[in-house]
Amino acid sequence: MTTDKLLHIVGSGPAGLAAAQTALDAGARVCLIDDNHAPGGQIWRGGPAQWTDARAQAFWKTLHGHPGFTHMQDAQVIGCVDANTLLLETEGRGVPVGFARLVLCTGARELSLPFPGWTLPGVTGAGGLQALIKGGMPVAGRRVVVAGSGPLLLATALTAVRAGAQVAAVVEHQPLSRLSAFGVKLLSRHRKKFLQAASLFAGLRGVPYVTGAQIVAARGDDMLRSVVVQAGGRQTEYACDFLAAGFGLVPNTDLARALRCDVGDGAVRVDGLLKTSRADIWAAGECTGIGGVDKAVAEGRIAALAALGLRPAARDIPVLRTARAFAALLARTFAPDDALRAMCQPDTIVCRCEDVPAASLLPHRDWREAKLATRVGMGPCQGKTCGPACEFLYGWPQHDVRIPIMPASARTLSQIE
Ligand SMILES: Cc1cc2nc3c(=O)[nH]c(=O)nc-3n(C[C@H](O)[C@H](O)[C@H](O)COP(=O)(O)OP(=O)(O)OC[C@H]3O[C@@H](n4cnc5c(N)ncnc54)[C@H](O)[C@@H]3O)c2cc1C
């Protein structure tokens, strides 16, 4: 069955690219919008010329030059003008884009948790350092520590090693017993993921993998000099130039919330065919729950077909079931626990845009009250970093989203066409 409908997709990561290819193959027209300079999202960052992944290449082969394909890159959706009109900032202008059917593939963000010294120059997120290296930042000969929790630590460490950095240690918060149980489950139920993990460890041969450990403090003067790590009651100080600290990912639900789609448990709520609480908006990939690239691709395909009124392809259903089982295993294994709250000391800055320390947040009952009293989350990033951190530290859910959902210039806002 084919269709000539027009589908708008926000996000050109694996979910968005899969959705776009599926929709074009079904005869629809596609407008793909993304704020990056090149398609690929987080994992295929760098654009088609750098892709080695066969799936990414196949998606681009369909999309590139297709007469039904419009690609709006360097275009960030900063909100909406009304229920069916997105507001984009592109080429220094505000551009409204109307849609009848929309698929949100807005991905995820890293969960950054505060610890003493985390605002020093040289401390980044785990994915943040990986993105900087992929973007060309030289790290050859520089000392790197990668710390926090989750598989992204290994991917980041390998990216750094391949770029010539000396990775002093990968510091994983979860204990070895839990990681071993995770490995056994991967081997029995998710063999491909097991092989991927094995290949990451093989690439990191010689790099210490410290488990059951957590950051005590990053130390330095005008920049990072070292990080102190605690494991089994013992503290070790690693001299380093970069500390890449990440504690997992959180779905990016900003645009979904701006469009009044329901969000629950931190992710965009969807039904079995990826429809959101709105009849004309679907969502796919990490924004519906963290699960990795296979989940993103399967969901992108299913969401595109559902948005066009078509049935999902039979092959995608078992793929999605397996990918969601992997996602659940990942969430159980690497869920941040209470011990990580203890990293944040009373004088630790929680909101780095507005310099708000933990001590001034403690007396407040919720996010709104704390915002009004301390300006937490009211700086340029609008709580994108400290919001999820406060949700974890104090149990303050993030309900509100204000337009613009991304920093936009006053000129853009005053020149909406
Ligand atoms: C920092 C980071 C690093 C990662 N590194 C790895 C890795 O090395 N290996 C791995 O297996 N997985 C990695 N992941 C997980 C990986 O993101 C997913 O497995 C996969 O890329 C998810 O695909 P997606 O399409 O759902 O989202 P993404 O790939 O994140 O794509 C979402 C896209 O939407 C765009 N977007 C979001 N909001 C807007 C907006 N308002 N306007 C315009 N564009 C918007 C984003 O810029 C992005 O290009 C990483 C995740 C993060 C956050």
pLDDT digits (tens, 9 = 90+) for 264-308: 999 999 999 999 999 999 999 999 999 999 999 999 999 999 999
Q: Do 149 and 234 sit in the same domain of this protein? A: yes
Residue 307 located in a structural domain: yes
- 151 and 228 belong to one structural domain: yes
User: How far, in Å, from the CA of 267 to the mean position of ligand 1?
Assistant: 14
Residues 256 and 160 occupy one common structural domain = no
Residue 118 and residue 234 share a domain:
yes
Cα–Cα distance for residue pair 148/125, rounded to 1 Å:
9
Q: How far is the CA of 46 from the centre of ligand 1 (A)?
A: 12
Q: How far is the CA of 108 from the centre of ligand 1 (A)?
A: 6
The set of protein residues with a Cβ atom below 6 angstroms from ligand 1 is: 10-16, 33-36, 41-43, 76-77, 105-110, 127, 130-131, 152, 155, 249, 252, 255, 285-286, 292-293, 296, 406
Total domains in the chain come to: 3
83 and 17 within one domain: yes
Helix, strand, coil percentages for the chain (3-state, nearest 5): 35, 25, 40
Residues 6 or more apart whose CB falls under 8 angstroms from that of 345 comprise 115, 116, 358
pLDDT of amino acid 1: 53
* Cα–Cα distance for residue pair 417/411, rounded to 1 Å: 12
Same domain for 100 and 11:
yes
Supply the pLDDT for residue 2. Answer: 58
CATH of the domain at 32: 3.50.50.60
Amino acid at 194: F
Q: Is residue 339 part of a domain?
A: no
Claim to verify: residue 136 and residue 93 sit in the same structural domain: no
Q: Is 128 helix (H, G, I), strand (E, B) or coil?
A: helix
Q: Look at residue 274 and tell me if it is in a domain.
A: yes
**Distance (Å) from CA 43 to ligand 1 centroid:** 6
Residue 298 Cα, ligand 1 centroid: separation in angstroms?
A: 15
**Ligand 1 centroid vs 107 CA: distance in angstroms?**
4
Strands 213-220, 224-231: parallel, antiparallel or unpaired by DSSP?
A: antiparallel
Q: Which residues of the chain have pLDDT under 70?
A: 1-4, 415-417
Of 178, 186, 40, 13, residue with least CA distance to 105: 13
Q: Residue 384 belongs to what domain range?
A: 344-394
Q: Is residue 96 part of a domain?
A: yes
191 and 283 both lie in a single domain: no
CA of residue 363 to ligand 1 center, whole Å:
35
Residue from 106, 153, 250, 290 whose mutation best tests the ligand 1 pocket (most atoms within 8 A of CB):
106
Ligand 1 binding pocket mutation candidate from 8, 42, 134 (most atoms within 8 A of CB): 42
> How far, in Å, from the CA of 406 to the mean position of ligand 1?
16
Residue 403 lies in a domain: no
**175 contact partners, CB below 8 Å, separation of at least 6:** 211, 212
Of 115, 137, 108, nearest in space to 11 by CA? 108
Ligand 1, atom 37, lies closest to the CA of 106
130, 232: one domain: yes
How far apart are the two ends of the chain, measured CA to CA in Å? 37
Atom of ligand 1 nearest to the CA of 287: 26
One domain, residues 136 and 65: no
Among 247, 270, 302, the domain-final residue is 247
Closest ligand 1 atom, residue 110 Cα? 53
H or E segment at 87? Answer: strand 85-90
* Nearest CA residue ID for atom 49, ligand 1: 41
- CA-CA-CA-CA torsion for 296, 194, 157, 166, nearest 10 degrees? -160
Q: Whose CA is nearest to atom 10 of ligand 1?
A: 43
Angle at 157 between CA 388 and CA 300, to 5 degrees: 55
Closest residue by Cα to residue 11 from 29, 33, 31, 42: 33
- If asked whether residues 142 and 265 sit together in one domain, one would say no
Return the structure tokens found at 11.
């996000």
Helix (H) or strand (E) holding 123: strand 123-124
DSSP run (H or E) holding 66: none
Residue among 34, 43, 53 to mutate when testing ligand 1 (max atoms within 8 A of CB): 43
Clarify whether residues 137 and 231 are in a common domain.
yes
**What is the pLDDT, as a whole number, of residue 3?**
62
Asked whether residue 27 is assigned to any structural domain, the reply reads: yes
What's the 404 CA to ligand 1 centre distance in angstroms? 20
Q: Residue 332: inside a domain, yes or no?
A: no
Considering the domain boundaries, does residue 416 fall inside one?
no
18 CA distance to ligand 1 centroid (A)?
A: 13
Ligand 1, atom 27, residue with closest C-alpha: 107
Of 247, 263, 282, which residue constitutes the final position of a domain? 247
